[in-house]
């Protein structure tokens, strides 16, 4: 009996504990809001709160990232702006003035003129015993980019005197945009006064052939007004025509807009200045006619020179792209005018054609481009202004020296063309 009583007592105690635990749980449930629905809502609310916090944190993180990127980009632009402001217009490739992009300034134009309004010294009546050379040409003879003593005409006379030909006098007659037609008129007007013993045409194949054709001249005039760059070193763009030009005081923005304006204006045939088609492997009817007119004018100048009792010769001038070499010069042009890739070119073609004309009519000819090319490529000399393209002081002097040798050799029957 005692054992059963003990077991019964234990079972009773177990029931009492179980009942007490249940009551305690029910009491706690009641205190906290109790029931199964309260237990299921609690995790959902916690998850919503967690997602809200994560979203807020995410938004704050992206904002900080964007702010950081904006600060970095702004600092990079400021550094770039500071960097380009250290560059000169010659290094930038342009100057921006009064709302326009222009070529960088390499020199001050010498506006000195003689009584004939030419960029040369004054000349009086022909002295007894003097040998006069009339040098005809365009802007190469005018040579406004150098002082009068440094022009090709003055350097020619200097080298003639240095070679012992002290009786020689050189009269330079040239103006920008002159072709052989204008040179013939000048010779007709001034020849009786000058009384030349030599008449020398400084012929520039690059644009003299075009100058001799009224039809090509009209096209060139239209292009000059419309194109951003008629030469690799020339820039003529108004601010209103420059793309993406938002901050005009920013040199960095100027540089970007300048490059885009130049690049966008040189696509396809319409983006190639008409002058360069003198180098086209196949010449169309306009250019064939221009060469025909050029040949006729050369013959007329020779005949007019003979009428004054003067010998006549032609000197073919160099071009800034030609002195780089036929292949390298063409690559230089294609880089500026991508549309040139669509055609075949021959930078030495015009000189060969001029040589055929001179052989046909018995006219002595000196080609300067091979001489200038050797000095440029082999000796690294810069003989043309980098952007303007005309001869610089060294180029004028070298031309004067070689023309002097050519004239003196022609007087004695020698050959100074090497």
pLDDT band at 59 (very low <50, low <70, confident <90, very high): low
Q: Which region among 119-123, 267-271, 290-294, 397-401 has the lowest average model confidence (pLDDT)? A: 267-271
pLDDT band at 58 (very low <50, low <70, confident <90, very high): low
Helix (H, G, I), strand (E, B) or coil at 273: coil
What is the sign of the dihedral through the CA atoms of 266, 272, 276 and 279? Answer: positive
Q: Would you state the structure tokens that stand for residue 234, as one six-digit string?
A: 């020339």
State the Cα–Cα distance between residues 18 and 83, nearest whole angstrom: 86
3-class SS letters over 311-344:
EEEEEECCCCCHHHCHHHHHHHHHHHCHHHHHCC
Q: What is the mean pLDDT of residues 324-347?
A: 93
CB 282, CB 344: distance < 8 Å: yes
Beta bridge partners of 132: 169
CB 211, CB 178: distance < 8 Å: yes
The answer to whether residue 322 sits within a structural domain is yes
What DSSP letter does each residue of 363-398 carry, written as one string? Answer: --EEE-HHHHHHHHHHH----B-TTT-SB-HHHHHH
Tell me: pLDDT of 384 over 80: yes
CA-closest candidate to residue 336, choices 380, 252, 390, 276: 276
State the Cα–Cα distance between residues 326 and 370, nearest whole angstrom: 10
The answer to whether residue 167 sits within a structural domain is yes
Tell me: pLDDT of 318 over 70: yes
CA-closest candidate to residue 200, choices 156, 157, 136: 136
The answer to whether residue 393 sits within a structural domain is yes
Q: What is the mean pLDDT of residues 187-194?
A: 97
What DSSP letter does each residue of 135-161 carry, written as one string? Answer: EEESHHHH-TTS-GGGSHHHHHHHHHH
The answer to whether residue 359 sits within a structural domain is yes
At residue 60, the pLDDT reads 52
| Report for 99-108, 225-234, 364-373: range of highest mean pLDDT | 364-373
Average pLDDT over the chain, rounded to an integer: 86
Supply the pTM of this predicted model: 0.79
pLDDT band at 90 (very low <50, low <70, confident <90, very high): confident
State the Cα–Cα distance between residues 111 and 129, nearest whole angstrom: 32
CA angle 13, 15, 21 (to 5 degrees): 105
At residue 165, the pLDDT reads 93
136: buried, middle or exposed (CB in 10 Å: 19+, 13-18, 0-12)? buried
Percentage of the chain with pLDDT > 70?
A: 82
Q: Could you tell me the strand order of the sheet in which 95-97 lies?
A: 95-97, 100-102, 237-238
Tell me: pLDDT of 172 over 70: yes
Helix pair 393-412, 152-162: axis angle to 10 deg: 50
Q: What is the mean pLDDT of residues 154-159?
A: 98
Listed in sequence order, the residues at least 6 apart from 195 whose beta carbon sits closer than 8 Å to its beta carbon are 126, 132, 308
pLDDT band at 56 (very low <50, low <70, confident <90, very high): low
State the Cα–Cα distance between residues 47 and 351, nearest whole angstrom: 87
CB 310, CB 134: distance < 8 Å: yes
CA-closest candidate to residue 273, choices 320, 224, 208: 224
Task: Name the residue with higher pLDDT: 141 or 34.
Answer: 141
The answer to whether residue 170 sits within a structural domain is yes
Q: What is the mean pLDDT of residues 362-366?
A: 98
CB-CB neighbours of 243 under 10 Å: 13
At residue 412, the pLDDT reads 81
Structural domain including 355 reads 131-215+266-412
CB 229, CB 265: distance < 8 Å: yes
CATH label of the domain that carries residue 294: 3.40.50.1110
Q: Which region among 114-118, 234-238, 283-287 has the lowest average model confidence (pLDDT)? A: 234-238
**Domains: count for the chain:** 1
Q: What is the mean pLDDT of residues 390-405?
A: 98
Cα-based distances in Å from 400 to 15, 195, 298: 130, 21, 22
The answer to whether residue 239 sits within a structural domain is no
pLDDT band at 101 (very low <50, low <70, confident <90, very high): confident
At residue 52, the pLDDT reads 59
Residue 203, H or E segment = strand 198-203
At residue 2, the pLDDT reads 43
The answer to whether residue 60 sits within a structural domain is no
CA 261 from centre of chain: 11
Tell me: pLDDT of 286 over 50: yes
Tell me: pLDDT of 70 over 70: yes
The answer to whether residue 99 sits within a structural domain is no
């Amino acid at each position: 009996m005692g054992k059963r009583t003990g077991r019964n007592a234990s079972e009773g105690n177990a029931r009492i504990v179980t009942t007490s635990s249940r009551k305690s749980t029910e009491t706690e449930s009641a205190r906290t809001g109790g029931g199964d629905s309260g237990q299921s809502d609690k995790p959902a609310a916690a998850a919503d709160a967690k997602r809200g916090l994560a979203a807020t944190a995410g938004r704050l993180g992206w904002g900080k990232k964007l702010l950081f990127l904006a600060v970095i980009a702004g600092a990079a632009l400021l550094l770039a702006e500071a960097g380009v402001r250290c560059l000169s217009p010659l290094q930038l490739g342009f100057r921006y003035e009064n709302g326009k992009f222009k070529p960088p300034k390499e020199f001050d134009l010498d506006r000195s003129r003689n009584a004939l309004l030419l960029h040369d010294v004054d000349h009086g009546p022909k002295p007894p015993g003097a040998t006069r050379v009339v040098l005809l040409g365009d802007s190469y003879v005018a040579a406004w980019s150098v002082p009068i003593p440094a022009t090709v005409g003055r350097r020619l006379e200097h080298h003639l005197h240095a070679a012992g030909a002290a009786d020689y006098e050189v009269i330079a007659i040239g103006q920008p945009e002159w072709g052989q037609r204008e040179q013939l008129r000048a010779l007709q007007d001034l020849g009786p006064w000058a009384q030349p013993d030599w008449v020398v045409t400084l012929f520039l194949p690059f644009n003299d052939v075009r100058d001799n054709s009224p039809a090509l001249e009209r096209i060139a005039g239209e292009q000059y007004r419309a194109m951003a760059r008629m030469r690799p070193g020339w820039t003529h763009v108004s601010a209103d025509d420059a793309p993406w030009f938002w901050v005009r005081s920013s040199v960095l923005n100027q540089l970007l807009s300048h490059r885009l304006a130049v690049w966008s204006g040189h696509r396809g045939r319409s983006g190639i200045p008409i002058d360069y088609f003198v180098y086209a492997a196949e010449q169309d009817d306009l250019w064939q006619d221009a060469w025909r007119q050029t040949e006729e004018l050369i013959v007329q100048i020779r005949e007019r020179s003979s009428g004054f009792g003067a010998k006549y010769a032609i000197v073919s001038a160099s071009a800034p792209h030609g002195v780089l070499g036929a292949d390298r010069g063409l690559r230089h042009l294609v880089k500026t005018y991508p549309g040139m890739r669509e055609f075949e070119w021959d930078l030495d073609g015009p000189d060969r054609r001029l040589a055929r004309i001179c052989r046909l009519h018995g006219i002595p000819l000196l080609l300067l481009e091979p001489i200038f090319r050797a000095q440029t490529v082999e000796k690294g000399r810069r003989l043309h202004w980098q952007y303007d393209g005309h001869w610089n002081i060294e180029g004028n002097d070298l031309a004067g020296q070689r023309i002097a040798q050519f004239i003196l050799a022609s007087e004695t029957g020698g050959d100074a063309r090497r």
